[in-house]
Amino acid sequence: MVERLAESATEGGGKVSIVDCDIHNAVPSPESLKPYLSTRWQEHQEMIGPRYRHGFTQGDPYPRGNPNAARLDAWPPSGLPPGSDLAFMREQLLDALDIEYGILNCLDKVGEQLNEEYAAALARAVNDWQIAEWLEKEPRLRASIVVPYENADFAAAEIERVSDHPGFVQILLLVRTREPLGRRKYWRMYEAAQQYGLPVGIHFGGMGGNPITSSGWPSYYIEDHTTMSQAFQSQVISLVSEGVLERFPDLRVVMIEGGFAWLPPLMWRLDKHWKRLRDEVPHLKRLPSEYVKEHIWLTTQPMEEPTNPKHLLQVIEHLGSEEKLMFSTDYPHWDYDDPNRAFPIRLPPDLKQKIFSENAHALYRFEAGE
Amino acid sequence: MHETSGDKTFPGQAAAGIIDCDVHNNVPSIEAIYPHLPDRWRDYLIEHGVSSIEPNYYPRGAPLSARPGSRPPSGAPPGSDLGLLREQLLDPWEVQCAILNCLYGVQMLYNDDWAAAMARAVNNWQIAEWLEKDPRLRASIVVPAQSPELAAEEIDRLGRHPGFVQVLLLVRAKMPYGRRYYWPIYQEAERYGLPVGIHAGGATGDPITPVGWPSYYIEDYVSLAQAFQSQVISLVSEGVFARFPQLRVVLIEGGFTWLPSLMWRLDKNWKGVRREVPWVDRLPSEVIHEHIRLTIQPVDEPPTPEHLLQIIEQIGSEELLLFSTDYPHWHFDKREDALPTKLPSELERKILVENAQAVYQL
Amino acid sequence: MRSTDSRRESDRHLAKHIVATVDEIPPGERKIVEVAGRSIGVFNLGGEYFALRNQCPHAGGPLCEGVLSGFVQARVPGEYSYVRRGEILRCPWHAWEFDVRTGQSWFDPAKTRVRTYDVTVEPGGDESTSSNELSEAGLEWGPFTAETYSVSVNKQNVVLEL
């Protein structure tokens, strides 16, 4: 199969409409959320404000490649932060790349807040702000429901509150959580996601209270960034092993901004050890890789750059499915993927069509009747 | 389970036999190391009721922990019986050299001095009960890694002993292994020409995955692969190999199919954010090719054998993989399944013998 | 100054374009211009002018909008040397580093282990001394070259030749 793909990789691909499965709309400032917070929480915001486990009032112990982790050319002329200016996003992304649909994943630090009620209030505010400032203003955009994911009851309540807005197509979690995401404490949230037919998106980032490695905290940003794929791997292991994908058979999960080349070796490893250790997890009725292939999607950014570009086609073959990869830019972040340049090799046209458009349409069903 | 001797297990196998880079010699009981402890520590163990410091990396009853027939009839732990090891592995597999990795839980202790005393005792026990009893055996120096200064002393004590060919660390540690805190260990290891082996396991009391504590043992075991990935990232990023250019590191019982995707990710990031780690003066994958080796078990093989060969090719070097059985852990059923099939014969020879000869200077 | 890719030289009719006056681009500053359908960044490094294509060879980002910084090196961990401040251009996207004087991307190998590629940059009559110093120190060319164009100062005008 690799040989066939390689041959057809030289065929010219026509223009494909693009669905961008990962765009970041930024809250311009805390003041922007005020209209959507009750007095009680406005006051809390003023008095205490958000608090982060790393201990800084702002910023991050691992400085990013660029300020705000953004492309330097993504700072709008208006002076607003990258990703917060819809007009500029239209100009630089939606119009420039002829994006058919874009999915907004707002990374405002909601789920990480230690005060769970504050987290729930922030989630409500961010989602109402997303509706007013993005979904109602730009028909090409869809969004993920931001939830206080460390409290599944609160998260379920928020999902229930806003899921009927047609602009919301997904639930958003950050990958670094307090416990592995398969654990029981999160199950009520998956129940709600399944009930309302919404995929659960798990995105790069978060600071949930665990060092990013099982041996503590690394020193450098390059380590922190590269190690994120191990966090994604751990979440796949957990969602499978805890039986979440057995218990919620309609649940769909999207790994966003985690890369994808790590997934085939992980599936093989899970299968291998499950054969010996399956008696420990009798709730699993099938091979782990079957659960993965049925329930888990991945976005393409940050694109894999194998030393030999042809190996990328091997990776896609090893994934065992052409229906699970979905293109994303990660606009406006610095490790952005341009749709015309991101892939190191030319894709066969049908595969290109799936990755850039069809797979996302099938998962998210942007239009009624899809 | 035991094929007749005289049949070569692997078609490309040389007459001299294979080198097994991961075999476990388990301490049968804490009493076994009493003779090797000074009075102060022997009395300490007895008076304070320390019945064992055996780690929980391999639950006794789990199928993965012990292949059929490897549990001694006495009830002692699998891997603690030299006779069984000869009978089940060394003789039938025509092993010319086996490298012992003793995982007794020295590195889990919080009292550095006690840990150092136990390390010394375990190493002396290894000499007496294994190295001096079978010339095919080599061993790894067990060290109290939690205290790099004391670990360095132990390496210095045994670095010239011909039976010890490696320094042993566990993959889950208090800090990422690239951090300068651990450099005294690498300094001594490099000085004696010993590779540092990083083995699956380790327990510090801290969460064992990047996202906290999983519920099941299967998750614990599978997620060891992520622990290895993190340590590779750390060793390269912190410039351990820039500072210690002769050092080699062997990753043991972590598998290897995850390596290409990790190298690509680290290379990609390095090109953009190299400035924080300017001592990484070339592609991380080149550093890995030069300084890191991996034992092959468990071979996390895909359903399509051809895909495994593709992964091996993606690694980009024929010098990285080292044959291992991981005796007594149970990863394969038939003997020939221990090695990927249809390897080119030159590569098979490298994996079975030559790569190990090079890194361990055998 | 560097000439253009020699493989296309026979196709190219070189023309001179005035892109700025010298006071528009004082030392340390830059100007991005559109010339013959190309976006080009013109830089002033200590009174000398250089020009690079405003397109990163990695993934097409607007290279000339990037940060001008120095080059951080270290032979061993913990010891830093910081050279060529203001002369190393970092792509605003994925942060690859380029030497403004030559257009070459720079990695810093202490040993010559980096794989080399054919580089079609030809030295102009006025070879930059700082690049020589770096070569003598054992530094090697990176695998990518941003397209460069000849620039000269014509009276008070900055003139681009392509």
Which residues, other chains included, contact A181 with Cβ-Cβ below 8 Å and sequence gap of 6+? A173, A202, A235, A238, A239, A244, B211
Query: CA-CA distances (angstroms) from residue C7 to A190, A296, C14, C20?
Result: 59, 48, 14, 29
Handedness of CA A195, A176, A178, A284 (dihedral sign): positive
Q: Which of residues 32-61 of C touch B (CB under 8 A)?
A: 58
Alpha carbons B225 and B254: distance in angstroms, whole number = 5
Instruction: Give the per-residue pLDDT at C113.
Output: 22
Q: Which two tokens stand for residue A63?
A: 């400085």
Q: Are A163 and A133 in contact (CB under 8 A)?
A: no
Whether B4 shows a pLDDT value over 60: the answer reads no
Q: Are B80 and B102 in contact (CB under 8 A)?
A: no
A305 touches chain B (CB under 8 A): yes
Query: CA-CA distances (angstroms) from residue B275 to A63, A221, B239, C96?
Result: 12, 10, 13, 10
Would you call C113 and B286 a contact, using CB atoms and an 8 Å cutoff?
Answer: yes
Q: Which two tokens stand for residue C104?
A: 């070459």
Instruction: Give the per-residue pLDDT at C13.
Output: 58
Please compute Rg for chain C using Cα positions.
16
Contacts of B238 in chain C (CB under 8 A): 77
A68 touches chain B (CB under 8 A): no
Residue A66, amino acid: N
Structural domain boundaries in chain B: 18-360
Q: Which of residues 42-71 of A touch C (CB under 8 A)?
A: 65-66, 71
Q: Which of residues 169-228 of B touch A (CB under 8 A)?
A: 171-179, 202, 204, 206-219, 221-223, 225-227
What chain C holds in terms of domains, given with CATH numbers, is 6-161 (2.102.10.10)
Instruction: Give the per-residue pLDDT at C151.
Output: 67
Tell me the mean pLDDT in the region B130-153.
98
B160 touches chain C (CB under 8 A): no
Would you call B279 and C94 a contact, using CB atoms and an 8 Å cutoff?
Answer: no
Of B204, B223, B277, the CB nearest to A220: B277
pLDDT tens-digit profile of B209-219?
A: 999 999 999 99
Q: Which of residues 102-131 of C touch B (CB under 8 A)?
A: 107-111, 113-114
Alpha carbons C70 and B80: distance in angstroms, whole number = 58
Burial of C26 (0-12, 13-18, 19+ CB in 10 A): exposed
What angle, rounded to 10 degrees, do the helices at A221-241 and A288-295 form?
110
Whether C3 shows a pLDDT value over 80: the answer reads no
Question: Which residue out of B183, B237, B274, B287 would a mutagenesis test of the C interface target, given it has the greatest number of C Cβ atoms within 10 Å?
Answer: B274
Instruction: Give the per-residue pLDDT at A14.
Output: 53
Minimum CA–CA partner of B237 in chain A: A223
Residue A148, amino acid: P
Whether C140 shows a pLDDT value over 60: the answer reads no
Question: Which residue out of A178, A202, A269, A337 would a mutagenesis test of the B interface target, given it has the greatest number of B Cβ atoms within 10 Å?
Answer: A269
Structural domain boundaries in chain A: 2-364
Tell me the mean pLDDT in the region C36-60.
86
The vertex-B157 CA angle with B353 and B119, nearest 5°, equals 85
Please compute Rg for chain A using Cα positions.
20
Write the DSSP assignment of B191-259 as a string of letters: HTTPPEEEES----SS-SBTTB--SSHHHHHHTHHHHHHHHHHHHHHTTHHHH-TT--EEEESS-STTH
Task: Please count the residue pairs, one from chain A and one from chain B, whose beta carbons lie less than 8 angstroms apart.
Answer: 251
Q: Regarding the domain with residue range B18-360, which homologous superfamily does it belong to in the CATH classification?
A: Metal-dependent hydrolases (3.20.20.140)
Would you call A183 and B215 a contact, using CB atoms and an 8 Å cutoff?
Answer: yes
Minimum CA–CA partner of C62 in chain A: A73
Would you call B243 and C76 a contact, using CB atoms and an 8 Å cutoff?
Answer: yes
Alpha carbons C90 and C105: distance in angstroms, whole number = 9
Of B238, B243, B278, the CB nearest to C72: B278
Position B38 confidence tier, pLDDT thresholds 50, 70, 90: very high
Name the phi and psi angles at C116, rounded to 5.
Answer: -100, 155
Q: Which of A110-114, B168-172, C45-49 has the lowest mean pLDDT?
A: C45-49
Q: Which two tokens stand for residue B126?
A: 């290894």
Instruction: Give the per-residue pLDDT at C58.
Output: 81
Would you call A268 and B301 a contact, using CB atoms and an 8 Å cutoff?
Answer: yes
The 10 Å CB-count burial string (b at 16+, else e) for B294-316 is bbbbbbbbbeeeebbbbbbebbb
Alpha carbons A269 and B86: distance in angstroms, whole number = 30
Whether C124 shows a pLDDT value over 60: the answer reads no
pLDDT tens-digit profile of B73-97?
A: 999 999 999 999 999 999 999 999 9
Q: What subunits touch chain B, counting only 3 or more CB pairs under 8 A?
A: A, C
Strand order in the sheet with C16-21: C16-21, C157-161, C150-154
Contacts of C96 in chain B (CB under 8 A): 271-272
Alpha carbons A219 and A222: distance in angstroms, whole number = 9
Q: Which of A210-219, B6-15, B141-150 has the lowest mean pLDDT?
A: B6-15
Position B10 confidence tier, pLDDT thresholds 50, 70, 90: confident
Q: Which residue(s) pair with B20 in the sheet?
A: B98
pLDDT tens-digit profile of A19-50?
A: 999 999 999 999 999 999 999 999 999 999 99
Would you call C74 and B278 a contact, using CB atoms and an 8 Å cutoff?
Answer: yes
Residue A358, amino acid: E
Instruction: Give the per-residue pLDDT at B131.
Output: 98
Of A65, A72, A341, the CB nearest to C59: A341
Q: Please state the pTM of the whole predicted model.
A: 0.91
Q: Is the peptide bond before A302 cis (omega within 30 degrees of 0)?
A: yes
Instruction: Give the per-residue pLDDT at B12.
Output: 66
| Higher pLDDT among residues C17 and B160, named by residue | B160
Write the DSSP assignment of B141-195 as a string of letters: EE--TTSHHHHHHHHHHHTT-TTEEEEEEESS-SS-TTSGGGHHHHHHHHHTTPP
C95 touches chain B (CB under 8 A): yes
Tell me the mean pLDDT in the region B45-74.
95
Tell me the mean pLDDT in the region B64-79.
94
Alpha carbons A120 and B252: distance in angstroms, whole number = 45
Position C161 confidence tier, pLDDT thresholds 50, 70, 90: low
**Could you list the pLDDT tens digit for every one of the 370 residues in chain A?**
333 333 333 334 456 789 999 999 999 999 999 999 999 999 999 999 999 999 998 888 999 989 999 999 999 999 999 999 999 999 999 999 999 999 999 999 999 999 999 999 999 999 999 999 999 999 999 999 999 999 999 999 999 999 999 999 999 999 999 999 999 999 999 999 999 999 999 999 999 999 999 999 999 999 999 999 999 999 999 999 999 999 999 999 999 999 999 999 999 999 999 999 999 999 999 999 999 999 999 999 999 999 899 999 999 999 999 999 999 999 999 999 999 989 989 999 999 999 999 999 999 999 865 6
CATH 2.40.50.140 for domain A2-364, yes or no, is: no
Contacts of B187 in chain C (CB under 8 A): none
DSSP E strands in A92-148: the ranges are: 99-104, 141-146
Q: Which of B82-91, B287-296, C37-46 has the lowest mean pLDDT?
A: C37-46
Which three-class secondary structure string do you get for A173-187? EECCCCCCCCCHHHH
Compute the nearest-CA separation of B300 from chain A (Å). 5
